[in-house]
Structure 1
Amino acid sequence: MSLWRRLGCASAAVAVASALVGAPAPHTENVVLITTDGLRWQEVFGGAEEALLTKEAGVAEPAELKREFWRDTAEARREALLPFLWTVVARQGQLYGNPARGSAARVTNGFNFSYPGYNELLSGRADPRIDSNDKKPNPNVTVLEWLDRRAAYRGRVAAFCSWDVFPFIINRERSGLLVNAGFEPVTSAGPRDRLAMLNQLQADTTPYVEGVRHDSFTVAAAREYLRAARPRVLYLSLDETDDWAHLGRYDNYLHAAQRFDRFTRELWDEMQGMDQYKGRTTFVITTDHGRGSGPTDWKSHGEKIPESR
């Protein structure tokens, strides 16, 4: 099975809203998999939801947020929120997961939360043994580990993740992969002075949610590694969309989604300026689960919220 088919199948099976950007499959030599936790398809395809642009949805300044994100049409709203996705990905790649267009994409694990979702995404199948977010080593081989066992990719696969459970999801101990997650210091390839500054800033920053570092630190670490090590497969996992939704802050949830889009654009632009990657790289963009709808359930997901599959 080709690299493209193996990774593409694992992603399409779980994506609530997935996107592929890059050259056709036969020409892909490098893959960047990017996930943002718990981003709803409603915002991806419809932009900001007017009913949630309120104080009741945790919005500090409703009028200001409405000026920033509200537009008269779904097409204009989604582009205001996710400009890279809709001006580049949608035109140069493919998007899946809009139920309104008959393109529903769901997880199948039945739990509808993170560890089961990421296992399904990365291993290509649901596993009923994985029924919690506990830090237990994943018994399943992920596509990252599978690729690293191939000579062409050995030592050229890396993962940078905001959530500190990923060393277990990817099973760092068994796989031997480079997995930097949570508030772990960054000790991988890169200029020592820049890594030292990044580590100091990270250490001096108060976590906003237990076990999760800010996405900006994760992205910065991944980009330093990219420049120094030139991996062929890079996994970037961000988390703030899920965290701010759970905290009931629709304004911060939207801003986290917008930053995710900007981070993706910046990474894409940088890689298009590197000979190894330009015209030879595919981005796969997806999430681990959806969320509910309405004034309360938009904040949550799980077995009791079937639409969060």
Structure 2
Amino acid sequence: MNPSRIAIAALAFAAAAAGVVARAQDAPKPATKTKNVVLVMSDGLRWQEVFGGADPALINKKDGGVAEVEAVQAAYGQETPEARREALLPFLSKVVAKQGRLYGDVGNECRVTNGKNFSYPGYNEVFTGFGDPRIDSNDKFNNPNVTVFEWLDAKPDFRGKVAAYGTWDVFPYILNRERSGMKIVACWEPPTGEGLTPQEKLLGEINANVHRLWSDCGYDAFSFYAALENLKREKPRVTFIGLGETDEFAHAGRYDHYLTSAHKFDASMKLLWETLQAMPEYKDSTTLILTADHGRGDAPSEWKSHGEKIKGSERIWVGVLGPDTPPKGDATLTTADQNQLAATLAALLGEDYNAYQPKAGPVISSAFGRP
């Protein structure tokens, strides 16, 4: 290669490296009412429960590992799927499914497209908009891909206004804290930052001293309330919250604990939404996106597991609630696959992620009321 071509190649490489900040900066931004987005994921929460409530085939000791069958049956074992759904997930079924859009039921299936159907590949796909064959384990290695969060955080309007809280100790690697420099609080880490509230300090103290069931996954309540306090104090424009108890208890074969965690996830989403609507910085200008990183197998034999070889674990669900999303509930809708979430999150904020990352899936158009 001659010197002039080397120089041109070097300039091209430099321009590509700067793309995280510069790409699509000059593109016209479509007007949206959404100024803030909160993305929450409940790891491995099945679409079956989201649309049908507790699975009758698992409310037993043999297949569901349920310790107190009568108590679980009384709480979540109503006669119809609609009643079971409202009992287990009242916020999703009464608010998201009526005031927003809920995708993933039979007839409008949502799917993982990475082919792996487990956590790191799933989070990468949600965060980047595409499946990457290099992401083939849950090991702790820095994600080579730039996530939509990192891309947004590099923009002047979002710099320092993106935060991530999660129960899993791999999140700092998936979001590449080392490269991105983003605010990421994961697993058993205490809340960080200047001017922590007494509530945040107390959460950190309790989190450091509580008995731990899992070394690599904290409890949902600590990550959720730490994120909620950060929302109140720092008022970020983009927040990710990753909750893991549903996956942990499903793998353990404890359907009773899985249901309890799913119910508490739903209650937390209600509190989150009410908190956002009570704050002038977020009221009527914030979209809530809810989903899971992967599905699970069918009851009664394979619900504990997921992965390439587990049929049905590619199916997920997606909920969208906010000022740009006309209510249509969970009626027949266009699909909303996992690789569409990154571009949709950005588009809600008036940003064109597809222009930066052409491998990302397209925007979920029906989330904006478009065909």
TM-score by length of 2: 0.75
Which secondary structure state, in structure 2, belongs to the residue aligned with residue 306 of structure 1?
coil
Letter of the structure 1 residue corresponding to residue 226 of structure 2: A
Tell me how far apart the structure 2 counterparts of residues 38 and 240 of structure 1 sit (CA, whole Å).
Answer: 9
SS in 2 for 1:221: helix
Name 2:177's counterpart in structure 1.
172
Question: For 1:168, what is the secondary structure of its paired residue?
Answer: helix
Which residue identity does 1:27 align to in structure 2? Answer: K
Structure 1 residue aligned with 2:14: none
Question: What does residue 38 of structure 1 align with?
Answer: 44
Q: 1:75 to 1:190 in 2, by over 3 A?
A: farther
Q: Return the offset for 1:195.
A: 2.5
**Mapped partners of 1:179, 1:190: distance in 2:** 17
Secondary structure in structure 2 of the residue aligned to 1:277: coil
Larger radius of gyration: 2
Which string of whole-angstrom CA distances, capped at 9 and with x for unpartnered residues, describes residues 4-61 of structure 1? xx9xxxxxxxxxxxxxxxxx97100000000000011111101011110001111010
SS at match of 1:120: helix
Correspondent of 1:200 among 199, 202, 205: 205
Counterparts of 1:1-309 in structure 2, within 5 Å, are 26-56=32-62, 57-98=64-105, 100=106, 102-309=107-314
* SS class of match (1:234): strand
- Letter matched to residue 190 of structure 2: P
Instruction: Using the aligned pairs only, state the percent identity.
Output: 54
Instruction: Extract unaligned runs of 5+ from structure 1.
Output: 1-5, 7-23
8 Å contact from structure 1 (residues 36, 241) kept in 2: yes
Output one character per residue of 1:119-160: Cα deviation in whole Å (capped at 9) or x when no partner. Answer: 001000000000000000000111101111111111100000
Are the aligned partners of 1:188 and 1:225 in contact in 2 as well (CA < 8 Å)? no
Aligned length in residues: 285
**In 2 relative to 1, CA 189–298 (structure 1 residues): closer, same or farther, beyond 3 Å?**
farther
**Amino acid in structure 2 at the alignment position of 1:29:** K
One-letter code aligned to 2:146: V
Cα distance in 2 for partners of 1:48, 1:184 equals 33
CA RMSD for the aligned pairs?
A: 1.4
